[in-house]
Amino acid sequence: TGKRQQRPDSQVTPSVAGGSSPPCGSTSPRPDAQVNVTDTAALKFELLTCLRQDIAEIFKTELRAALGDDLSTIRADLQAVKTQLANDKAAADAELASLKGTVGEVEVSLSSCTDDIVDLKCKYERLSSEFSKLENKCKDLESRSRRQNIRIVGVSEDMVVNTTAVAALLKDVLKLDKEPLLDRAHRSAQPRPRPDERPRPIIARFHYYTDCADVLRRAREGQRFGAGNVRISIFPDHTAKVARARAAFNEVRKHLRGVEGVRYGLFYPARLRITYGGVEKDFVSADDAKAYVEKMNSG
């Protein structure tokens, strides 16, 4: 580079080297001065270019010498990583292929299960419909089997319960002409109560339905009956579900008692009929009946 920086002295004119100024009165610089300025700029540019190249070469050489071992290590690590990635990719591809096979098998199984579910759903709907019919039929048969039964509430546990004793009790408290003919009479199937608890009701079955209807009619008219120290009430022997549905109207019936111009009746299985102002309404919901009674009282 030292040779490149040397320029012959002959190329520098005496006027420039000596620093002499142009004569006074001159309007433009001399041509040899312009050439000298151009050569100086070119020389600077060439020097900077050469210097930049030399610095770059020196930097590369020093960097290569300093990082030679590290670059080899990095290259080896990169190669190891590349190999590991290739192995991982091969394993992932194999696992993916296995998963694809498993998914295919699952799809086949799901399709088969879906068909089975559809078939089971159809069977369930059919069996559910048949069950509902059988349930309703069973409830109807149970209710019909209880048509000739009554429940007697309030009889002490000390009383011996049989058909003869219950028939005599009914004749006495209801003032019947003769003792009704009973097929069976027994206490309800509940644990025996303690002395301070309410006695179990007595369930009696009449041989003739007309006798049962007559006793229930007398019971509705008198509500409670007494014979000596015994105070009893007589009710129809309904199923548990029907009994709960009918008991839901007890509060409404209590509000209707004694209201002038109102007639009401509870029909089987649980339907309350209210007649007021010549208008007759039937209710199967106790809440609806209660709302109607409140509106009727407010009006």
CATH number for the domain harbouring residue 285 = 3.30.250.20
CB 266 within 8 A of CB 272: yes
- Judge whether 19 lies within some domain: no
Q: Total domain count for the chain?
A: 3
Spatial separation of the C-alpha atoms in residues 139 and 145, rounded to whole Å: 10
Count the residues in the chain: 299
Predicted confidence (pLDDT) per residue in 227-246, tens digit: 666 688 899 999 888 889 99
Position 12 in a domain: no
Final residue before a domain boundary, out of 237, 272, 288? 237
Among 106, 127, 145, the domain-final residue is 145
pLDDT of residue 221: 81
Sites in the chain below the pLDDT cut of 70: 1-35, 68-69, 223-224, 226-230, 299
Beta strands in 84-187 (DSSP E): 149-153, 182-187
What's the pLDDT at 284? 92
Residues 59 and 105 in one domain: yes
CB 184 within 8 A of CB 212: no
Task: State the residue range of the domain holding 177.
Answer: 153-237
In this predicted structure, what is the pLDDT of residue 133?
A: 95
Classify 191 as helix, strand or coil.
coil
Q: Flag whether 17 is in a domain.
A: no
Strands 262-267 and 182-187 turn out to be unpaired
CATH of the domain at 161: 3.30.70.1820
The pTM for the full model equals 0.55
